[in-house]
Structure 1
């Protein structure tokens, strides 16, 4: 058993010696290893330390609970907010984000060409560009670019939010100002737009709340593409410029398209579906500064161009007829005039002209102020036909064997029908007119005598078979059916008016159709103006065949054609002369009928003795029908050549002569003597 010495020299100290010995201790004694007793003392000191007061512990616990509650509440709120954004707002935000980055580029279809029967262009499309923008999106992109620039300058985070917004708004304003000034300069410098470029208008459009605006139309493609590169957010959209190379010629038939490329008038409107085609489209994503992101193209649908349409119109004939109609108005002092030419066998429209037709290539507003119009009055403006309508009574009487061409009728100067007294246009005693003479001299009384033989029901049936009171089905808009009283509404006065061309209204095309029926051996064919249609691939699109109705027999039609040659017959003595000898054409037999229909005076509500529709409808040649020509003048003061009288027969002569000569139609066989109009 060892014993410890109290002698320092032994290198040990007593067990109860203090750890903080004298300064004379050796280095070895200060670096000795702590003994277990030392650890026990430290632990005792820790647990014997004075405890915090109870009140202070309670406060700390409360603060800890409060912090936990706040943290839990915030977690719940944030989680709920996230769920709301994801589930409720998510789809809408996703859609808005897609709208901001998605651009749909439309590839317009080329509108189909319209040509005449000989392949001459009536309307075609040229390619140009329209400068367009999405103002709302463009201003956001301008603001984004301005914000990037401000960040690059280092000022962005040193500015207050209010000042930052002010600077960004000012930058957008300056950029819009630059666009509105520089774009017109670029266009005008290149002379690359057919439209006036207004800087103020461009600025107003860029400041609008619209998602799409056309800034400038009809810009040269190269110039438009360069502007689109120089001005981010401006697009050079493909634009089709519709050309009407013949100006006002046939404009009443062709019509025009609007600035948006949609059919607005005439054939362009009624057949917009086959002419317009189907636009293609491409979808891209763009960056905030409006640059297309590569590889984002989708929904690539190619455009399908419109169909090419060939009309039955003959441009050369249309030009001549339209010029003659305008000249007739100038010479006669008429309010207006119109003419229709049909193929006698097929009822295809060869020409369809009316005066005051607008030129789509000119200043539209100025022309409208001068009374020019897009209207096609040959199908949209019905009028009372007058004596031209007597051909239906003649056809019915011959068809039903109620008379013969040579029957002599004792025709008085007037006739009473159900209390209505009707007179002839000239005073005469009882006259021995043949049936041929009744119509050649245009006797109202003689016509009504024959109509009485037919009766109301049969006469009404004839009117319907000849297409009266019905649209013709022509492939043009705004066609009127005219007016025909229903048989149940007829009175005695009705039957005294209808057979002589009063109390009903026809369009000029309907009038031409009545005479086409006689020219085509009694079969009425619905008139057509479409010859053929080809789709964009060159395939022919079949068109429905026109309906046809046999109004009278071929024999009756031939007899009536021969009878109505009397209208153009000339007689120096005047006895065997018809009402329209000016319609006669040397070397050819022609058949037709003059008409003078009283208009209703708006001041009195009664028929006027000074305002008339002057009409003529005829067939050339009568022996071998090729053409049917119908003419109407509204309130002429003189003849169509400025001569005395108010007949439109001379205009029929001019148009028919031009056609017969151009088409080298063989001459008619000489007639066998004169037709007898008045028995002697």
Structure 2
């Protein structure tokens, strides 16, 4: 019975497979039949329907995200505007066609001509010449000697003289300016011809778009700097995609005509600030004499907003303090009037304010603001780095808390005499900081290079090179000569002196060899104020979703926590000892006249770096001696909440009319303003005329 049952089951399996195969055959037959009907019988109808349907998709730019200061004040806003664009349907569009459109546009919009180059004018003239006229520019013999069409064209361009380009009319120049922008675009990608067209221009264009193929009006926006030049350079700029980065942005979903961040915060946070474009799809269907028009729109969204660490009221106060001090300085500078200052929270790395002033000699500029100079310009900082020097000596074992050296002139072979401002005699580490003893730093540097001056000096090229490396390594732990980590796409790390001769080693220890930025100086003193923890400086603390009411904040998308970059490899007792010395500078030392009675109990270190500035050229070239004034510090001494660095470069010597104490005066007023604002705040003052960013600024 079991065998019969098994045979019966085996008999049923092939039957089921046959049924399945037959069903599949039937289904495929029906599918093939239907495809035949669609393609052969109804094919023409579908083709007609397709030909009667047009689909146009437009992507409309969304405004970039806003920037707020730490107290919720909008510092970078958007100004809505209209732009006129040209979309080239094909790279094969003739120059004559585009020139015709440019001539029509010239009658409808006003456009600046200051970007036109001499080569643009020459090309424009060639385009309008007949073939015979172009042949007259280059002889037949010359053409026969040329190897390529490009060489022939280049020779034609060279034959267009300045007399001809200068003869172009204002109308020609406006047409050329429009054509120039049109030709810069890419196929099937809208190219902005003019941003911020007037209402009258918009009406004229709207009435004439039907006869201007490829021309359209685009809703656009421009950056609005609510507080004028305050931190303007740090915010950065926006513009069209740089040609060298086109592939990079296209791979990330951008279009060639998009506006992107091109520098500093705008560039650093491009992915955050970029808005989500609105997409408008227009579908037109024609059938049987009727036309159906459907529009599908996906709304865009403004980019995410940035909340900055900056206190705009404090920023404005710092700018005003520096500006007033520069006015008082008069003719105190060797060449350019300049000053830089950074205020930051040593506990978090927050940049509270960062102001720069630069007034180039012999130049007239719209603004003297140079805030970004705090991260891009480096100087010899002088004695303000001596706290790092003392800690380096402690770590190297050539000195210790309480160790004294005899401050007297140092005379080395083939080296100018090295000394302090005066001979202080025997001074310990704290006193050396208070009076800014150079010799104390020299002694440590020599001992690190195996030179016990004057009796047992056995330094060699190797021992000196090792001392250089050790000093620079220790300095880098504070941020001197290394990347600060600030959230900007580019910043300077300063320069290291190239020569490693003996005398320069001594200069390195007193801040007169390598160069540093004002931000590096602020990070260095913040590290000491923060008991050896080096914090990453930051300008952005939060990213938030956009909201329609700019008086409110959206939900937090990302919050940036304070980041510790490193802890310096030095004994806590050493750090505490140096902190005491820095407090002594303000109460008994070189800065006591301004800071001894301050209620907020500051600590700090003064600096005066000797400089020699070259003036003139050729036979008139001469060198003028001066100094760079610096001051670093923090307050309050027992619980630091603000650290500062002030740099005033290239000041004349006092005997030559240079104003002394400018760095100290700026720092004193800045600290006063900070602590006053803890009790009374009035808020920042908006600029009477906010600055609108210019195209491709």
* TM-score, scaled relative to structure 1: 0.64
- Say which of 373, 380, 387 aligns to 1:384: 380
Q: Would you say 1:131 and 2:133 are equivalent positions?
A: no
Post-superposition Cα deviations, 1:556-603, rounded to whole Å, max 9, x if no partner, equal: 323212112222235xxxxxx435633444323221111111224447
Alignment of 1:358-507 (within 5 A): 369=365, 372=368, 376-398=372-394, 403=399, 406-416=402-412, 420-428=415-423, 431-454=425-448, 456=467, 458-484=470-496, 490-507=500-517
Distance in 2 (alpha carbons) for counterparts of 1:245 and 1:604: 40
Q: Secondary structure at the match of 2:557?
A: coil
Q: Would you say 1:321 and 2:321 are equivalent positions?
A: no
Q: Secondary structure at the match of 2:260?
A: coil
Post-superposition Cα deviations, 1:607-661, rounded to whole Å, max 9, x if no partner, equal: 966232211111122222111110111222489xx99535521211111111122
Q: Would you say 1:562 and 2:580 are equivalent positions?
A: yes
Q: Would you say 1:276 and 2:274 are equivalent positions?
A: yes
Cα offset, 1:130, TM superposition: 1.4
Cα offset, 1:493, TM superposition: 3.0
Distance in 1 (alpha carbons) for counterparts of 2:85 and 2:517: 45
Mark the CA change 1:389 to 1:179 in structure 2 (over 3 Å): closer, same or farther: closer
Post-superposition Cα deviations, 1:135-189, rounded to whole Å, max 9, x if no partner, equal: 779xx9xx9xxxxxxxxxxxxxxxxxxxxxxxxx9xx97x98776445679xxxx
Unaligned runs of 5+ in 1: 1-93, 144-168, 186-196, 288-292, 359-365, 571-576, 666-680
* 8 Å contact kept, 2:340–2:647: yes
Q: Secondary structure at the match of 2:230?
A: coil
Q: Would you say 1:616 and 2:639 are equivalent positions?
A: no
Distance in 1 (alpha carbons) for counterparts of 2:616 and 2:507: 19
* 8 Å contact kept, 2:375–2:518: yes
* 8 Å contact kept, 1:439–1:447: no
* 8 Å contact kept, 2:344–2:352: yes
Q: Would you say 1:201 and 2:174 are equivalent positions?
A: yes
Q: Secondary structure at the match of 1:126?
A: strand
Distance in 2 (alpha carbons) for counterparts of 1:267 and 1:251: 10
Q: Would you say 1:228 and 2:206 are equivalent positions?
A: yes
Q: Which is bigger in relative contact order (C-alpha 8 A, separation at least 6)?
A: 2
Mark the CA change 1:337 to 1:442 in structure 2 (over 3 Å): closer, same or farther: same
Mark the CA change 1:558 to 1:433 in structure 2 (over 3 Å): closer, same or farther: same
Aligned to 2:129: none
Cα offset, 1:111, TM superposition: 0.2
Q: Secondary structure at the match of 1:587?
A: coil
Q: Determine which structure has more spread, i.e. the larger CA radius of gyration.
A: 1
Aligned to 1:251: 232
Mark the CA change 1:553 to 1:660 in structure 2 (over 3 Å): closer, same or farther: farther
**What is the number of equivalent residue pairs in this alignment?**
503
Distance in 1 (alpha carbons) for counterparts of 2:107 and 2:624: 64
Post-superposition Cα deviations, 1:291-311, rounded to whole Å, max 9, x if no partner, equal: xx854768x665343110011
Alignment of 1:86-235 (within 5 A): 103-134=56-87, 180-181=106-107, 201=174, 205=178, 212-219=190-197, 224=202, 227-228=205-206, 231-232=209-210, 233=212, 234-235=215-216
* 8 Å contact kept, 2:626–2:652: no
Q: Secondary structure at the match of 1:541?
A: strand
Cα offset, 1:437, TM superposition: 1.8
Distance in 2 (alpha carbons) for counterparts of 1:198 and 1:656: 57
Distance in 2 (alpha carbons) for counterparts of 1:578 and 1:374: 29
* TM-score, scaled relative to structure 2: 0.63
Cα offset, 1:495, TM superposition: 2.1
Mark the CA change 1:597 to 1:101 in structure 2 (over 3 Å): closer, same or farther: farther
Post-superposition Cα deviations, 1:392-441, rounded to whole Å, max 9, x if no partner, equal: 1222345567545544432213353x75455224343x712232221211
Alignment of 1:522-601 (within 5 A): 522-536=532-546, 538-543=555-560, 546-551=563-568, 552-570=570-588, 577-578=589-590, 581-601=593-613
Aligned to 2:685: none
511-520 or 627-636, which deviates more: 627-636
Distance in 1 (alpha carbons) for counterparts of 2:268 and 2:484: 15
Cα offset, 1:345, TM superposition: 1.2
Aligned to 2:355: 353
